[in-house]
Amino acid sequence: MTDMGGFHDHVARVDLGDESVAYEGIDDEDARKYIGARGLGVKYVFDNGVDVDPLGPDNLIAFMNGPLTGTQVTMSGRIAVCTKSPIEGQVTDSHHGGWSGARLKWAGFDGLLFEGRAEDPVYAYVEDGEVELRDASHLWGWGVHDTVAELEEECDGEYGKNLSTMAIGPGGEEQVRYACIVNEDDRASGRGGTGAVLGSKNVKAVVVKATTDMPRPADQETFQEGHKQAMQLIQESDVTGPNEGGLSLYGTNVLMNLTEEMDGLPAKNGRYSSTRSMADSEGADVEADRVGGETVRENILVDEPTCHSCPVACKKEVEVQTHHKGEEMNVRMESFEYESAWALGPNSGHTNLEDSVVMVDRCNDLGIDTIDAGNTLAMAMEMTEEGKFDHLDDGVDWGDSEAMIELLDRIAHRDDELADHLAGGPSHLESEFDAEENSLAVKGQTMAAYDPRCMKGMAIGYATSNRGACHLRGYTPAAEILGIPEQVDPHDPEGKGELCATFQDLHAISDSFDICKFNAFAEGIEEYVLQYNGMTGRDVTEEELMEAGERVYNLERYYNNLAGFDGADDDLPGRFVEGHEDAIPAQGGSEGQLAELDQLKAEYYEVRDWVDGVVPDEKLDDLGIDIGPGTGVSTGDSSAPADD
Q: Which residues bind ligand SF4 (CB under 6 A)?
A: 75, 97, 306-307, 310, 312-315, 516, 518
CB of 549 to ligand SF4, least distance (A): 19
Q: How far apart are CA 236 and CA 246, in angstroms?
A: 12
Q: Is 583 exposed, middle or buried (0-12, 13-18, 19+ CB in 10 A)?
A: buried
Choice between 335 and 466, CB closer to ligand SF4: 335
Contacts of 146 by beta carbon, 8 Å cutoff, 6+ apart:
none
Least distance from ligand SF4 to the Cβ atom of residue 512, Å:
16
Shortest reach from residue 316's CB to ligand SF4, in Å: 10
Cis peptide before 57 (omega within 30 of 0): no
Shortest approach of ligand SF4 to residue 522 CB, angstroms?
A: 10
Query: What are the C-alpha distances in Å from 32 to residues 337, 505, 544, 552, 608?
Result: 34, 16, 10, 12, 22
Identify any residues that bridge with 166 across adjacent strands, giving them in sequence order: 183, 206
- Closest of 624, 612, 613, 619 to residue 637, by C-alpha: 619
Round to whole Å and give the CA distance between 39 and 7.
Answer: 14
The minimum distance between CB 283 and ligand SF4, in angstroms, equals 38
Query: Where does 254-352 have alpha helices with state H?
Result: 255-261, 275-282, 293-299, 338-343
Compare residues 513 and 610 and give the one whose CB is closer to ligand SF4.
513
CA-wise closest residue to 470 among 449, 491, 494, 499: 449
Rounded least distance, CB 123 to ligand SF4, Å: 25
Q: Which is nearer to ligand SF4, 224 or 306 (CB)?
A: 306
Task: Identify which of residues 237 and 446 has a Cβ nearer to ligand SF4 in the complex.
Answer: 237
**Distance from C-alpha of 118 to C-alpha of 203, rounded to nearest angstrom:** 7
To ligand SF4, the closest distance from the beta carbon of 449 in angstroms equals: 16
For the CB of residue 305, give the shortest distance to ligand SF4 in the complex, in Å: 8
Q: Give least dist CB 248 to ligand SF4, A.
A: 8
In this complex, which beta carbon is closest to ligand SF4, that of residue 62 or of residue 310? 310
- Residues 99 and 148 sit within 8 Å (Cβ to Cβ): no
Identity of the residue, 77 or 374, whose beta carbon is nearer to ligand SF4 in the bound complex: 77
Least Å from the CB of residue 63 to ligand SF4: 18
Do β-strands 203-209 and 122-127 pair in parallel, antiparallel, or remain unpaired?
A: parallel
* H or E element in which residue 79 lies: strand 79-84
- Kindly tell me which of 310 and 583 has the beta carbon lying closer to ligand SF4: 310
Nearer to ligand SF4, 313 or 403 (CB): 313
Phi, then psi, of 147 in degrees rounded to 5: -60, -45
Taking the complex as a whole, how short is the minimal distance between the CB of residue 16 and ligand SF4, in angstroms? 31
In the complex with ligand SF4, which residue's Cβ is closer, 239 or 454?
239
Smaller CB separation from ligand SF4, 278 or 314: 314
**Best CA proximity match to 246, nearest among 522, 28, 557:** 522
Judge contact between 304 and 333, C-beta under 8 A: no
How far apart are CB 282 and ligand SF4 at their closest, in Å?
A: 35
Helix residue ranges, H only, 300-387: 338-343, 353-366, 370-385
Rounded to a whole number of angstroms, the minimum distance from the CB of residue 240 to ligand SF4 is: 7
Q: Three-state SS for 83?
A: strand
Report how far apart, in Å, the C-alpha atoms of 181 and of each of 408, 506, 613, 615, 629 are: 16, 25, 30, 31, 33
**Closer to ligand SF4 by Cβ: residue 522 or 535:** 522
Measure the CA–CA gap between 370 and 366, rounded to whole angstroms.
Answer: 10
Q: Is the dihedral of CA 329, 335, 336, 339 positive or negative?
A: negative
How far is it, in rounded angstroms, from Cα 471 to Cα 485? 17
Is 598 in a helix, a strand, or coil? helix
Cα gap 622→294, rounded to integer Å: 48
Question: What is d(CA 515, CA 518) in angstroms, rounded to the nearest whole number?
Answer: 9
The nearer residue to ligand SF4, 310 or 454, going by C-beta atoms, is 310
Exposed / middle / buried, residue 387 (Cβ in 10 Å: 0-12, 13-18, 19+): exposed
Q: How many residues does the chain have?
A: 644
Q: Which is nearer to ligand SF4, 75 or 408 (CB)?
A: 75
Q: Minimum Å distance from CB 314 to ligand SF4? A: 3
Residue 7 or residue 338: which is nearer to ligand SF4 going by CB? 338
Round to whole Å and give the CA distance between 313 and 91: 30
Integer CA distances (angstroms), 205 to 104, 183, 584, in order? 14, 9, 44
Residues 6+ apart with CB under 8 A from 271: 278, 575, 580, 582, 583
Minimum CB separation from ligand SF4 for residue 68, in Å?
Answer: 12
Our CB check for ligand SF4 shows the closer of 148 and 516 to be: 516
As measured in angstroms, the least distance from the Cβ of 190 to ligand SF4 is 13
> Which C-beta is closer to ligand SF4: that of 166 or that of 312?
312
